[in-house]
Chains A and B, each alone.
Chain A
């Protein structure tokens, strides 16, 4: 399993990595700091993540813009893409779903809560 995590917050990247390591010792995590960086990483066709998580509020290219770009890539058509944000604004959730996000995950307050969410997604 290869997880691709797009978020400009270094702390969130670390927390996400810790949670994945706890769930599956063999899984790997790759990070990007914003939408543009994510698109650059995916230029390499040998890199096809199993699951993609994108934060919404990022500099340069935000989450929804990045999502729209990824949806154009044919080779990612079977890869689940989740929006992962602090916001729980219904308007933002609807916008992301309309752009083709498989789900919208509100960043939980707590490490245990996060591992549980990720466990459900990978099952």
Chain B
């Protein structure tokens, strides 16, 4: 023992010297950014130049493969926010320069930020190859010593195979359950104590030992009190060629305690494994059932999306509703189901964002099928989370509600039409009660006055004339109202109308007035539009008639037209964006009016001027508005007193219910 102590002392002294001559390297690592700094000494230990670049792979790639797991475990333990953050490990590296293997001993400490994330990991490192060599020799010595101490608890045997004599120590007999006083315990007695189930193990081990030299087995022995004890036996075959004696000597130890712990562990592991396997199988079954169910559902498109919105699976409903086969769509972004305008508007991204932040996003809107047709979809996107509440994907359920939507739209359209008709009826009631009554009232009143003056022919004639003019005004009003009411008949057939022809026809109508008032009508190459020829004639007649009527000098009427492309913003409130329109302008040099009356002048029976100065029914512009609306267009006006008036008419190139526009001459 004194010799061992002396050697330990010697070794320790040499170790101290070795450490003194060994420089301490320092290092720091920032796990969040991956940044790694090594001191020059640290690099020297690895056989690197002091100014060499280092990164994590330099560190990881030079661990001796056999030590890699150990180092990884140590780092993981240190990075665990619930641990102490300490790192202390000894392992081998392969140096860069000479590829020699060195033992190093880094020690470190991890600093966590307030989010419990490992932020900074710093430490030192020493090359302990010298130390390690001595430590190993130390350990060997220690092991020898322990062996000696443990020997007390071991039974020993010596088996002369040549003579078949078996010597066993008292401890060995104890291990096999024989009492202190029992003598003459034979080898057969000992073997007899071995558990019947383990006899074969022992026999095989002995047989192998005779050919290979080493004996090692574990077996149960049954003591007389029926208690079961585990025994481990080591032995070595010794062949002496000189005296031809074949011996096997060895030890046996009681490992019952070790075994019972192991057995318990094994049982726990086995139980755990079994229950895991069972629940796994159940989970698999329910997953399968669920997957099959989702697959078979036809009325809903049920799909899984990745966090980026990539389609991961597809069901029958999705195929039925959207028209894609599974192989055509899996791996594509779900954006493809949205109209270009919605994609531009980032609707799919917004829905995904909402689902990510709020857990769920619901939406109804037009979606695009594979063949380009659209359907009205009602969708729910739900975020899927892992145990740490991270979003790992989404489910998306889509229903095709096109039929419902169309029915709703139709209903809304009917309601709108009904409302409009109602409003029109109200206006007609107003006309009937008010404007049509006025000439009637006058006829009645003047008849009475005429009656009073029936004996004075001159006075009587005056009132007869008044009666007559009231009657003709009444018939003019009735005619206009009739004309206006005829416009209420929708579903008129639209056809290409050359506005140049229309204008010529109107000019012919006004021939007399034009020459009397010396009217100048200017126009240049008007386009062909889609419309009802008679209505467009009425429109031009009213606008041009108005321009002539409300003018004090020689009227100049200028008619022009220009195209408004789909890219232009809607030219007038209420018109549709992305639609092509023709803008027709009718400008005059007449008396004009204050712009504040602009909206009033299109109302039926609204007049800005006295009957005496500018006679009229108050229906003309209401008629124009009605005609333009029948053509799905709009009419507007710009005016200033004394500066003339400009009417703008907007007619769509492709009004609903008409064939696509034919080739039209340029404007």
Contact = CB atoms under 8 A, between A and B. Distances in A.
Contacts of B610: 8, 33-34, 58-59
Contact of B449 (A57, A58, A107, A111): A111
Contacts of B470: 11
Contacts of A18: 449
A71 B474 CA distance: 36
A46 interface: no
A88 interface: yes
Nearest to B436: A86
Nearest to A18: B449
B611 A112 contact: no
Contacts of A10: 611-612
A116 interface: no
A87 interface: yes
Nearest to B435: A86
B132 interface: no
A24 interface: no
A107 B441 contact: yes
B466 A8 contact: no
A109 interface: yes
B445 A15 contact: yes
Given A15-B449, A109-B445, A114-B445, A87 B612 contact: no
Contacts, number: 54
Contact of A60 (B435, B441, B608): B608
B445 A110 contact: yes
B442 interface: yes
A5 to B, nearest CB: 15
B335 interface: no
B449 A86 contact: no
Interface in B438-470: 438, 440-442, 444-446, 448-449, 452, 466, 470
A111 B445 contact: yes
Interface string A2-43: 000000111110010010000000000000011000000000
Contacts of A86: 434-435, 437-438, 441
Nearest to B606: A57
Contacts of A15: 442, 445-446, 449
Contacts of B448: 110-112
B327 interface: no
Contact of A88 (B433, B435, B605): B433
Interface in A96-113: 107-112
A87 B441 CA distance: 12
A11 B466 contact: yes
A107 B433 CA distance: 12
**A interface bracket (residues with beta carbon within 8 Å of B):** 20 to 34
Contacts of A108: 441
A8 B444 CA distance: 20
B443 to A, nearest CB: 9
A108 B611 CA distance: 21
B592 to A, nearest CB: 14
Q: Which of B435, B607, B611 has the most CB of A within 10 A?
A: B611
B609 interface: yes
Nearest to A60: B608
A87 B434 contact: yes
Q: Which of B445, B470, B611 has the most CB of A within 10 A?
A: B445
A93 to B, nearest CB: 13
B434 A59 contact: no
B604 to A, nearest CB: 12
A34 B610 CA distance: 8
Contact of B608 (A9, A59, A87, A110): A59
Given A11-B470, A18-B449, A59 B444 contact: no
Nearest to A37: B610
A31 B433 CA distance: 26
A66 to B, nearest CB: 14
Contacts of A59: 607-610
A6 B153 CA distance: 135
Contacts of B605: 57
B444 A109 contact: yes
Nearest to A15: B445
B49 to A, nearest CB: 98
Contacts of B438: 9, 86
A89 B441 CA distance: 17
Interface string B118-145: 0000000000000000000000000000
B660 to A, nearest CB: 46
A9 B437 CA distance: 14
A39 to B, nearest CB: 16
B612 A11 contact: no
A60 B611 CA distance: 12
A112 B445 CA distance: 8
A86 B439 CA distance: 11
Interface string A58-72: 111000000000000
A78 to B, nearest CB: 31
B445 A8 contact: no
A41 to B, nearest CB: 16
Contacts of B446: 11, 15
Interface in B406-438: 430, 433-435, 437-438
A107 to B, nearest CB: 6
Given A15-B445, A87-B433, A114-B445, A109 B440 contact: yes
Q: Which of A58, A86, A107, A114 has the most CB of B within 10 A?
A: A86
23 contacts: A8-B610, A11-B446, A12-B442, A33-B612, A34-B610, A57-B605, A58-B610, A59-B607, A59-B608, A60-B608, A86-B434, A86-B437, A88-B433, A89-B430, A89-B433, A108-B441, A109-B440, A109-B441, A109-B445, A110-B445, A111-B448, A111-B452, A112-B448
Given A15-B445, A57-B434, A111-B448, 20 more contacts: A8-B611, A9-B611, A10-B611, A11-B442, A11-B466, A12-B442, A33-B610, A57-B605, A59-B607, A59-B608, A86-B435, A89-B433, A107-B441, A109-B437, A109-B440, A109-B441, A109-B445, A110-B444, A110-B448, A111-B452
Interface of B: 430, 433-435, 437-438, 440-442, 444-446, 448-449, 452, 466, 470, 605, 607-612
Q: Give the 3 A-B CB pairs with smallest separation, nearest first.
A: A111-B448, A8-B610, A109-B444
